[in-house]
Structure 1
């Protein structure tokens, strides 16, 4: 019996130690929880609530211009203490009889019902902005339209680019490389929503205006890019097929720039044709570094986004009236010089 008792004793001791350890751990966890709770009560976390709420309605596209536009919207929203909500619509969506796509109308009505502090809308082809402006005004909500250029219908409100200046800069760069020998082809946007006829396009007029100062230089051809991803390539190929004397191609946007560059590469004409592109992304930058594109005129989409938010909030708090703001551009120069 004594031997049996001695054999049981270590088991009993181990059990007591285990129970003690468990009790100690429970007490330790309890104290930790109490300490954590008291810390939270002494230093409660705060959740920031934005002062304003702004809704932006933008086309769903991978165009680098709109990526930079969103950067500007976000940066200024943070600066203005505004919560930014972005809704996207298909830029090629069907419009109703009033000239507004179902997607845009749905997002716009949500914005009105939410009593947001401002609505920012980018105008694309076929979009009747005037109808939406009237509805926003009736609801007493600031409305800021954005567009690549000034519309013929609304000239005193919104934030726009300046394609005429872009055209002047592009042609000046081409003339600097080619002089009076310049034979220029122009690739225009597929978007005709601003109501301009082909030769009334601001970009075209800007090029035309600059060429007047250089006798001998001329616009040989102009084409609109198509809406497809290869729209820039197709436009460039048509121009070169019909006008093989073209030695400079001026592009309205990144798609046209990349498309024109691809055609020039495919035809083995790198170094024979000057390409003045537009906007900036990794592909455009690569083409400049390789010497395929001589320069790119980057439209200031960030400034457009910032100006749009600032104008909407300014109207909401009563320190600004509706106005039109034009944003500029910057030039990414060629790394390897001219022809």
Structure 2
């Protein structure tokens, strides 16, 4: 009897191995690129909020979520180990070039990028504009470190891998997956400094949902994603700064920046990107000096409209449409790598 039971167990184990081998051969190759952030953060207490970002290496992240191996051939690569408040243009260029290289050399079918939430939306939008392939690039993070009792990183990482592996994600390109929702990088924003469900798309909502192991899409952005900015030969980007608008604002910041070597300036104005008279004069002077001035608005949703309350043509300004100031800065930097023509740059803001 014991021999029969033993034979059965051995046969069952062989069948399981064969089944797993069959799954592995047909499953997608998913490469996880790690940059640090809270999802790789470590703290001394499981119940306190203090932690240090970017301390947990990629291998430990993968080992903490063994279920991800059910969805594909998973490999990991550490690209950076920083908190996303320290994200910079050099790392953006490195990420974009690495992702393009991976797809060009057919090293993976999809990519998951772990990232801190502070600048996650900015990195996502930069990659949306510079990654030349439409294969899935799923950007994910967490609001609580890996050592927290209620950490959200493991679930988010598993969901991101599900999204990357899903046939429904083919052709979607760069997307953001957080808290069982999928967002277009152009529209997503971090809305709370502490809440787990911080990522929102205030104007349009998520493009898809992740629930119970299933990935569902409901719509996609019609903004131009076919034309990309080629950054493969760049080591830096034109410098663009942001100035915040508020009641009784001084023109001093704009004036100081106008005397610096910046190439562009995004004014994050009140209401429909408005400014008071002193700031308006300083912005006009900046424009005359050849600095590309772009108006956005600080409200968090809605559009900044051209030629509405401001004589944009007369002042030489462009508007961000419905882009936030931080994303308008990215599009302006990339646009300035190709042209200084204000008409063409304005068209970029209406198309991208």
Same fold (TM over 0.5): no
Higher relative contact order (CA 8 A, sep 6+): 1
The TM-score, its normalising length taken from structure 1, stands at 0.32
Q: Which structure's CA Rg is the greater one?
A: 1
The TM-score, its normalising length taken from structure 2, stands at 0.31
